[in-house]
């Protein structure tokens, strides 16, 4: 009797195991609207990083704050200090930086049913003339503000509480990444 129950259990477990594998898609199988925000952002970072010719290791897929301690994915320290980005910066980019980044961040809040985040903001800033690594730093500033300053910055980015929060929580990271002393107005 026990042997029959055990065999029945193993058969049932085998059947369930096969069903679960077919029901739960691998991360590469999900359609864009089915994937989580975290998965979309990690995929974008992996593509950026691999395109830059670096090997991807587990330390680079950790949480947001740890990314800024060394080099960023797709963006090294001083990523905006090259001649092309400085030409954009000096040609009006400095004066239009805050409104441009605010526009990109707010227009990229939601695309479809998920938060669009870093890839959308980065692409928007690239359309303003910045290189991909520089635009990545700018998009990471938006992610930092979303992570640390969402409440004070929810309605107005020039609110004094938002400016203070952004300066204290995100400006240092932005300077390391971009080479520019910006972020927080």
How far is CA 104 from its chain centroid?
14
- Extract the tokens encoding 118: 């870093």
Q: Are 166 and 149 within 8 A, CB to CB?
A: yes
Q: Which of 20, 111, 174, 136 is nearest to 166 (CA)?
A: 174
- Extract the tokens encoding 109: 């809040």
**Residue 113: predicted pLDDT:** 52
Question: Alpha-carbon distance 57 to 48, whole Å?
Answer: 13
- Average pLDDT value for residue range 14-30: 44
Question: Alpha-carbon distance 2 to 82, whole Å?
Answer: 74
For the entire predicted model, the pTM comes to 0.57
Least confident span in 8-12, 51-55, 83-87: 51-55
- Extract the tokens encoding 134: 């520089």
Distances (CA, A) of 176 to 4, 105, 134, 136: 66, 20, 11, 13
Question: Alpha-carbon distance 103 to 91, whole Å?
Answer: 19
Residue 159 reports pLDDT greater than 60: yes
Residue whose entry in the numeric block shows the structure tokens 């990523």: 79
Q: Are 180 and 162 within 8 A, CB to CB?
A: no
106-124 confidence digits (pLDDT tens): 888 765 555 667 889 999 9
32-58 confidence digits (pLDDT tens): 444 444 444 555 555 454 444 444 333
Phi (first) and psi of residue 72, to 5 degrees: -90, 160
Q: Which has more confidence, 84 or 53?
A: 84
Compute the mean pLDDT over every residue in the chain, rounded to the nearest whole number.
69
Question: Alpha-carbon distance 156 to 102, whole Å?
Answer: 9
**Residue 32: predicted pLDDT:** 45
């Amino acid at each position: 009797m026990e042997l029959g129950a055990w065999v029945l259990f193993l058969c049932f477990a085998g059947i369930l195991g096969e069903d679960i594998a077919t029901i739960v898609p691998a991360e590469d199988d999900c359609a864009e609207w089915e994937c989580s925000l975290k998965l979309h952002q990690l995929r974008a970072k992996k593509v950026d990083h691999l395109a830059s010719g670096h090997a991807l290791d587990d330390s680079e897929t950790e949480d947001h704050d740890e990314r800024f301690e060394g080099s960023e994915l797709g963006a090294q320290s001083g990523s905006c200090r090259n001649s092309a980005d400085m030409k954009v910066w000096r040609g009006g980019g400095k004066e239009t930086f805050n409104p441009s980044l605010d526009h990109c961040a707010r227009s990229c809040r939601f695309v479809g049913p998920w938060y669009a985040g870093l890839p959308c903001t980065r692409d928007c800033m690239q359309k303003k003339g910045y290189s991909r690594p520089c635009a990545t730093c700018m998009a990471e500033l938006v992610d930092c503000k979303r992570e640390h300053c969402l409440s004070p910055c929810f309605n107005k980015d020039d609110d004094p509480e938002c400016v203070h929060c952004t300066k204290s929580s995100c400006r240092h990271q932005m300077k390391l990444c971009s080479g520019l002393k910006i972020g927080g107005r």
